[in-house]
Structure 1
Amino acid sequence: MLYWGTLATFAQSFSEKGVPLLQNYTPSQYQHKGKIWDIGSAPNGIVYMAADEGLLEFDGKTWTSFRGSDGFTRSLLVDNDSTIYTGSDLDFGVWKRNSYRVFEYTSLYPFKEDITGVNEEFWNVFKLNDNVLFVSSQNIYIYKNQHFTKISAPTHFTGSFSVNDSLYFADEKAGLFRMDGLSLKQVFKFPAGAGFEIAGIYRHPKGIVLVTKNSGLALFSSGKLSILNNAVSQHLQTAKVFSFTPVGDQYLAFGTILKGLYITDINGRIIHQINRNKGLPNNTILSLHYSPSGKLWMGMDYGVSAIDLHRKVTTFYDFRGDFGSGSAALIYNENFYLGTNQGLYQSAWDDLNNDSDYNRFRLIPGSEGQVWCLEEIDNSVLLGHDKGLFILNGNSIQKISDEPGVWTIVPYKDYLLTGNYNGISIFRKAGNTWTFLKKMELILGSCNQLIVEKDNILWINIPNFGVIRVVLDDNLYPAERLIIKDKEFDGANPYLKKSDSGIHLLTDRFQYTFSSAERKFVNKVDAESQPEIDGLVNGASQPIVIHQDYAFYPVYNGFALKYLRSGDKTSGQAYSLCVRKMEAIGRNHDKTDFYPEASIPFRQNSLKIECIVPNLDKVLYQYKLDESGRWSPWDSNNTFELFNLKRGKHTLFVRASMNNEILQTLAIPFRIEAPWFHSWLAYLIYFVTAVLIVYGLLSLQKLSLKKHRKQHLIKEQRSLREQAEKHRQEMMMLEQDMLKVEYNKLKQQLKAKTIELACKARVDDEKNRMLLSLKEKFERVQKEPALAQMILKEINRILESYINTEVNTFEIQIDELHQEFYKKLKDRYPGLSNNDLRLCAYLKIGLNSREIADILNILPSSAFISRSRLRKKLDIGADEDLYEFLNSI
């Protein structure tokens, strides 16, 4: 129903021998919906059919029917996976999928409500550009943008045909017309009195070829019409053609009333003739459709059939009882020899071509009975038979040994080994005749397979026992035996196989490889793929190569050939992996359909999901849940069941495989809703309940508190008074401590101010005395000018003395103000000198290097060097602030 991907067109190249794999469907399988008049396929590979009682849908496993108009459904056009147009008796319309992915029918016929005097049957529906055309015998209705254009037939349409991008219409009397815009343009008139009825048209390099119902094939080229005289044209003149379809670009398919199906190349050479003798339910084919997946679908008078031209296996079933179930085959001198349960049969190799109505086999006299094997050795054909060992002699056989039951024949050096019902027989050639030599010692049981590995190593397969590896000496005695029992292998029907990489053992489930070093089978891997054909004879899982282009399969009631020149192709084709059905299942087994991205109630948290690659055989599937999950084993079952899923978002991954190649991986997201007890309503209920409980508890607590409030009130008041008293005392002590701290602080400040005032007074006194001395000196100069030089020197000495005194006074003042700071520095750094302490004091009060240099009467660079030395003594890094460091002490 849902699909992802597209199908690529099959590149045709198939065998001309045998019948392609054929699948028949009886009316009971599709609910007895009547005859199938038209067939089409959607891009995702699902096939749709116009039946008497409505529309049929088939995905390869499941048939689904839909009822639209009241009359028989005659024709259809599959526009895409979700849109189908159909024509029926007195109606035509469109099918579209609704929101539940189910088809719903809407009639488009403009005269549905008023059909008085109208009796139209719509046998064809076409799409040309953006127009949809519904064709009856009387009219063409062109539908576009919900509007119709009607074109009437010149007289009476007997057929309409789509050829590439052109539409042709055959009129009973006026001839063949081609659609040209919204009108018909005549191509040519039919020959007079010929009863010219056309069943199909196809293009040929020389022109267009008309497939007539009764006159074979006719070529219209350069304005002339001529009957073709090729092989298929002669057959079709008597077979009565009813349906036709091209098969790709190189082949053609013709459905007849009397002789079944013909498949030819573009030049009319018959490739296949398939009828009741070769497996069809009947010989009347009403409709044909070649799907992009390589299947040719046939709607018949009774039932539906499909032949798989994509597969390279063809079959020869004995529907007439001519030859029985094949077991061995050989091509010798351009003849095909077939060993069966009934005897040895012969046919010319070319007679196996499927261009005749049945196969011709001739029984070799004297070979009646079960033939097990055929081998060409020394340009002779040896025959392993239920009655013994024989050699083919022209058209008869000659017995070599009458020991019953020869399963297999193997040449070994100059000898011949045969695996028998009991043991191994050894033959030696004398002249041109093989003679019995002896039985091989130590080997008993039914030896149905012998393989010479190399030199003197022989492998023996004995069903229901195991395999034996023997080393033969020069006398063909098994000098060394290695026995490996069947129980060592998983799976049924063990089969030995030799390849360039060694000896392998295959079962229906696994493949093993023999290790000479370990002397056992190792490297267990999954079997390569499913059997290529159903109905294989038990134990015949591997084909026998009989020709450079063909291999032989033993099949019950017949045999099969595999065309080796071009194997089955999956690479380069994109197949659609579709979701067909998704069901959510509850604990009471109630089911609800859902689709990807859907939210599924928790009560239905078990899922059943069906996926399929539509109408493709031999496909295996596997799945896993979420990225963290593990892939399930590969299985042909395409329905997956998931149980008791947890809530939350999930993704189901599904992938399909054919011939050991992954076709496509599909991701299906969905969400499992939370259970009701995790829903928002449940959470609301929980919240309200919790509120009520809390309210009840608070109410009880409130009553309890009220009861004990008086008792606690007295106790609390007493406690509060005690706490208040305690607090008052603590506050008093705190105030005292604060006052003490404040007192000490003021005391220090007072001391500093006192020192400062004392220093100030002393400085002022010295200044006064110095000024008085200077005044006396100047007065003396005035009185005694001759002594001026000497007096000036004295004045200069007085000034220098004062300056030094001033500096010393400043240093003394600084020292007295920072006595406590000096003490802390000395305690932490005993190596500091007085000058270092004084420099620290200057820095602490915020003086920069230039100001310090002026005070100390030194260069600024010397002040900077002193700071660097101080940093080293204080063990302070260059990136640490010296001012902040000193103020933190």
Structure 2
Amino acid sequence: MRYRTVHGFVFVLAILTWLIPASSKGQSNSNPHAIKPYLTGNINISSQSWGICQNSTTQLIYFANTQGLVEFNGLSSRIWKHPEQKTIRSIQIDATGKIFTGSFEDFGYWTTEQNGNLTYHSLSNKITTPQNDEIWKIYLQHGKVYFQSFTSIYIYDYKTVKRIAAPTIILFMFPTADDFIVQGLSEGLYQLKKEEFTLIPGSQIFKESKVHAIIPTGNKTFLICTDSKGIYKYDGTAFKPFTSEVSSFLSYYNCNAGIQVNDTLFAFGTILNGIVFSNNKGQIIRQYNYSNGLKNNTVLSIYRDNLKGIWVGLDEGAGYLGIENPFTPYFNPTGTLGTIYTVLRDADNLYIGTNHGLFIASISEINNSYSFSDIQMIPGSQGQVWTLIKHKGQIFCGHNEGTFLVKGTRMQKISNVTGCWTIKPYADKLVEGTYTGLVMLGQNGENWQIHHRIAGYFEPTRHIEVDYLGYIWAAHPQRGVYKLELNETMDTISKSEFYQSASRSESNFDVYSINNTIVFTSSNLLYRYNYDQKRIELFSSLNKSLLEYAQAKQIIPFHKNEYWFILPNKLALFSISKDFNATKKFELLSRNAEITSRDINILPLALNTILLPDNNLFSVCDLSLATKRNLQIKPTITRLEFSGKNKTRTFSTQKVNTISIEYATNNLTIWFAFPAGIEQVEKNFYYKLDELDNGWHKTTLDNITYLNLKHGSYNFRIKTETGDDAAMVKFTIKKPWYMTWYAYILYIAVVVSLTLLFKRIFTVDVRRRNQLREYALSQNRLESELSIKTNEQMLTMRFLMQKNEILTQLQEKIQLLKNDSSKYPVKYIRDIEKVITEGLDLQTEEWKGAMNNLKLSEQGFFKELKEKNPNLTPHDLRLCSYLRMNFTTREIARLLNISTRGVEIGRYRLRRKLGLTHDENLTEFLMSFSPEKE
């Protein structure tokens, strides 16, 4: 119960301490022209970042965050939620990439699956933990993992978990070479060695203060950093206050974290005023807070990565400082300095010419870190300052209002000609280009003054160069370059020649001097002046060795035979030999290195340190760091995501060496990381799929997508803008199922089967066609025979009709004889009558047979006629048949046993049903009607 009560008190106290409102957001500065270093590496995450660690294999950065475990790849972040949605307070990563985290009443580890996702495994379920326990620190030592809460220390040996109860309520634990130092509240500092706590003699001085950092400094010495009592030194026997500038700063602003960056540099995070850097003497070198780039002033954690960069966990988000980044950007918080156009160093003074006027600052340097203080505007300098040069120990200022001599913090006007853009030595004088031509300055004793304006040339002149023959080359801002020859008294232009670009497609024609040779810049290539042929020609040797820098729009002299060539987003220092071959010494990425509408100055501060004006204000660049780092750190390919119809498969490049995927998922998205380039404002990458892309493509995203890839093996490469070394991944898309060997076997089987089937069908079809042909021939033969039989039948019927008529007539005559039997013997009459009756009966049977045969022969005719005219009755069909055989009306009347008038009426009705006109003959129509023709 005592543990629980005290634990709750300590927990609330710690949270309140960490979450003190950062009331000093932007400390007031008495100097409105202050110049401060500026932090550019802010991480786009939210909420409190309690701990930070880096995966040594993937180089990815992980944050123990209120939202969960945050994975940051240098370009974007992913959040992995705790299974119970708990805040993650602490983090540590071992050499295998296993991520250990601690939270409220839980601790465990995360593993990376084959698809790149993280899975959490709890360890707290292996042991009983006190209620309300929370893990605030995690360390790796001697092959074990140590989880520290306010009441206990849990030791995990990758098999089992063991709990060690603390002798009292503890605040934080810190590692040493072989063991740990733990602060016991109201007790002092304990040494934890071999799982036993031993109170360190003399550490009782920390009873009333909280220790937030213990930094080993070598030879068993430590810096003990407290929240409000500054820093103490511990040499293994005694604790002594570290009286220093940084200790006083931390005691006032509440130290909350601290680490050693290198042998001479320390970083400390505060609750109230951001992060501060000091050397081993305690001198503050640099500070970052809300006023100069930090997202807020409350620092919760500090971590140094593999490149010695400093990650800062904040009360809201995180920040990054590249300690070995060549560039340290500076800015003016109030913006009162304006836009820089020119800079010049004179001893420990820095002169800054801007569009607001001329400023002077004091330069100081501690451990290669520069500061610029005591900023003030020189009285009377208000207005546009175009150029500053130092000649014969005197400083000349080209100003919108004329030309001035600068002496300390005073300005003396020596020319009233407005708009002095550039100043160059000419013999024992100075020639300057202005808004309205050229002006010559001369020296009268120690005083400089305007000597005269040069007559004969009044063009606006931004750049001038003087060659070894005394010609003045003057560049017009828009038109081109003039070659000017002065008279003997140097007050008049005796000869003028105008030159434009040698090609109409090129623009921005300007003039510079390299190794006493006049060089012209354009939009594409460099040119030189051929004095023998008096013409402009391509500078072939320089263009060839400069490569892309042959398109430079500005050339700045540096040291002897060394020149800076400026491109829009980078610059490089080249050494130029006597035969004009260029050798690159440094290359620097710089956002907006080529500033529109104005030149830039590159000012040497030391042997390997330059000051480079930019859009913020200026940056100080350590060229030795640029050489060391070489700005060619390549990105890391993290995972490949293949997708298709209703299916997605993801592969982590760290978990899978061979990637082979089915053709059905041939849409690919490649994800990559670039944690080393966090400070780059603009991150440009170049990628290429060797088998598909002819050249490199540019992207600023952290993923690239290819759709509908064909089957085959692929090599994907990606690199940085200045790097030649590219990250690469190989993968294979399998052939579609219809192109596999078993598919080809199936195709062969199907072809064989179809061939046999078609052969079978063809054979059956031929047999059927032959049968149909035989049937057709047989039908034609039968129809011919039927037609003959029909004609014979018709003749037979006619014969029978005639015979029947004769017999009928004989029967009528005999009836007359019977009526007059007296004349003839009855016996003979009866014999004749019997013969005639037998003849008529036989005639009737023959007639029936003929009629049946007629019906059979006319079946096709009846069927076709009925289909064409479904309203015909059987009587109509019989009439049609008799008419078609060309029987007379009388014959038809006898056949139908009706009167001739009935036949006429039947013919009339039949014509109407058949739709015949008055002019059409019914008999001819029926005789011409042929089913075969239809």
TM-score by length of 1: 0.69
Aligned letter for 1:344? L
Match of 2:109 in 1: 94
Q: Is the 8 A contact 1:18 1:352 kept in 2?
A: no
Q: Which amino acid is 1:291 matched to? A: D
Aligned residue number for residue 552 of structure 1: 611
In 2, Cα distance between the equivalents of 1:423 and 1:352? 45
Question: Structure 2 regions of 5+ residues with no counterpart?
Answer: 1-33, 550-564, 571-588, 771-934
AA at the equivalent of 1:433: W
1:623 — aligned with what? Answer: 687
Q: 2:316 aligns with which of 275, 281, 302?
A: 302
Identify which of 226, 246, 253 aligns with 2:260: 246
Q: Following TM superposition, by how much is the alpha carbon of 1:554 offset from its aligned partner in structure 2, in angstroms?
A: 2.3
- SS in structure 1 at match of 2:300: strand
Query: What is the distance in 2 between the residues matched to 1:495 and 1:220?
Result: 64
The alignment status of 1:395 with 2:409, answered yes or no, reads yes
Are the aligned partners of 1:18 and 1:314 in contact in 2 as well (CA < 8 Å)?
Answer: no
Mapped partners of 1:329, 1:57: distance in 2: 42
Does the CA contact (< 8 Å) of 1:204 and 1:266 recur in 2? no
Matched, 1:75 2:90: yes
- What does residue range 407-806 of structure 1 map to in structure 2 within 5 Å? 407-431=421-445, 432-439=447-454, 441-442=456-457, 444-445=459-460, 447-467=461-481, 474=488, 475=490, 477=493, 479=495, 481=497, 483-485=499-501, 498-500=513-515, 512=526, 514=528, 516=530, 519-522=537-540, 523=543, 525-527=547-549, 530-531=569-570, 532-534=589-591, 537-538=595-596, 543-549=601-607, 550-564=609-623, 566-570=625-629, 575=633, 577-584=635-642, 593-594=650-651, 597-602=658-663, 605-616=666-677, 617=679, 621-626=685-690, 630-632=694-696, 639-642=703-706, 645-656=709-720, 658=722, 661-662=723-724, 664-675=725-736, 677-679=738-740, 682-683=743-744, 686-699=747-760
Given that 2:170 and 2:185 are in contact with CA atoms closer than 8 Å, whether structure 1 keeps it comes out as yes
Structure 1 counterpart of 2:151, from 120, 131, 138: 138
User: Residues 427 and 209 (structure 1 numbering): CA distance in 2 closer, same or farther, change over 3 Å?
Assistant: same
- 2:204 equivalent among 191, 194, 197: 191
Deviation at 1:582, TM superposition (A): 3.0
Deviates more, 1:379-388 or 1:176-185: 176-185
User: Which of 162, 171, 175 lines up with 1:158 in the alignment?
Assistant: 171
Q: Aligned AA for 1:304?
A: A
Residues 675 and 686 (structure 1 numbering): CA distance in 2 closer, same or farther, change over 3 Å? same
Code of the aligned partner of 1:311: N
Give, in whole Å, the separation in 2 of the partners of 1:313 and 1:294.
15
Distance across 1 between alignment mates of 2:648 and 2:667 = 10
Name the structure 1 match of 2:122.
107
Which residues in structure 2 correspond to 1:215-364 (within 5 Å)? Answer: 215-350=229-364, 359-364=373-378
User: Aligned partners of 1:487, 1:59: CA distance in 2, in Å?
Assistant: 46
| Corresponding letter in the other structure for 2:711 | R
Could you say if the C-alpha distance between residues 512 and 218 of structure 1 is closer, same or farther in structure 2, counting changes exceeding 3 Å?
same
**Taking structure 1 as reference, are residues 414 and 355 closer, same or farther at Cα in structure 2, changes over 3 Å only?**
closer
Contact 2:41–2:319 (CA under 8 A) maintained in structure 1: yes
- Worse-matched range after superposition: 481-490 or 36-45: 481-490
Give the counterpart letter for 2:103 in structure 1.
Answer: S
Separation in structure 2 between the aligned mates of residue 501 and residue 370 of structure 1, nearest angstrom: 31
Q: CA deviation at 1:656?
A: 3.6
Partners of 2:118 and 2:398 in 1: CA distance: 60
Report if aligned partners of 1:651, 1:668 keep a CA contact under 8 Å in 2. Answer: yes
Question: What is the match of residue 399 of structure 2?
Answer: 385
Distance in 1, Cα, partners of 2:230 & 2:309: 25
Higher mean displacement: 170-179 or 477-486: 477-486
For structure 1, which segment, 138-147 or 173-182, has the greater mean C-alpha deviation from structure 2 after superposition? Answer: 173-182
Task: Work out whether residues 519 and 529 of structure 2, in 8 Å CA contact, stay in contact via their aligned partners in 1.
Answer: no
Cα distance change on mapping 1:230 and 1:635 into 2, 3 Å: same
Q: Does 1:204 align with 2:221?
A: no
8 Å Cα contact 1:495-1:539 kept in structure 2? no
Give the match for residue 869 of structure 1.
none
C-alpha distance in 2, partners of 1:683/1:444?
A: 80
Deviation at residue 147 of structure 1 after TM alignment: 0.4
CA offset at residue 348 of structure 1? 1.9
- Cα distance, 1:444 vs. partner? 2.3
| Structure 2 counterpart SS, 1:280 | coil
Provide Cα deviations, 1:234-280, integer angstroms capped at 9, x if missing partner. 22221210111111333110111222221112232221122333332
Aligned partners of 1:36, 1:437: CA distance in 2, in Å?
67
Letter in 1 for 2:712: G
**What SS does structure 2 have at the residue aligned with 1:237?**
helix
1:405 to 393, 416, 419: 419
Shift of 1:222: 4.8
**In 2, Cα distance between equivalents of 1:633 and 1:455:** 48
Preserved contact between residue 324 and residue 342 of structure 1 (Cα < 8 Å): yes
Structure 1 counterpart of 2:100, which letter? Y
> Residue in 2 aligned with 1:173?
186
Quote the offset at 1:188 in angstroms.
3.0
Q: Aligned AA for 2:606?
A: Q
- Determine helix, strand or coil for the equivalent of 1:191: helix
The change in CA–CA distance for 1:439 and 1:297 in structure 2 (over 3 A counts) is: farther
What 5-or-longer segments of structure 1 have no aligned partner? 1-16, 710-889
Residues in 1 aligned to 2:734 and 2:525: alpha-carbon distance in whole angstroms: 45
Aligned length: 679
**Separation in 1, partners of 2:527, 2:648:** 48
Taking a change above 3 Å as real, the CA distance of residues 496 and 317 of structure 1, as seen in their structure-2 partners, is farther
Contact preservation (8 Å) 1:583, 1:607: yes
CA 1:649–1:222: 2 relative to 1, 3 Å: closer
Partners of 1:424 and 1:625 lie apart in 2 by: 56
> 1:569 and 1:494 mapped to 2: Cα distance?
36
Match of 2:862 in 1: none
Output the amino acid matched with 2:291. N
1:505 shift after superposition: 6.2
Contact 2:405/2:412 (8 A) holds in 1: yes
Q: Give runs of aligned pairs for residues 40-79 of structure 1, distance below 5 A.
A: 40-43=53-56, 44-68=58-82, 69-79=84-94
The offset of 1:126, in angstroms, is 0.5
Normalising by structure 2, we get a TM-score of 0.65
Instruction: Give 1:562 deviation, angstroms.
Output: 2.4
CA change 1:468–1:220 in 2 (3 A) is same
Verify the 8 A CA contact 2:659 2:731 in the aligned structure 1. yes
- Is the contact between residue 111 and residue 119 of structure 2 (CA under 8 Å) also seen in structure 1? yes
The answer to which of 524-533 and 81-90 deviates more is: 524-533
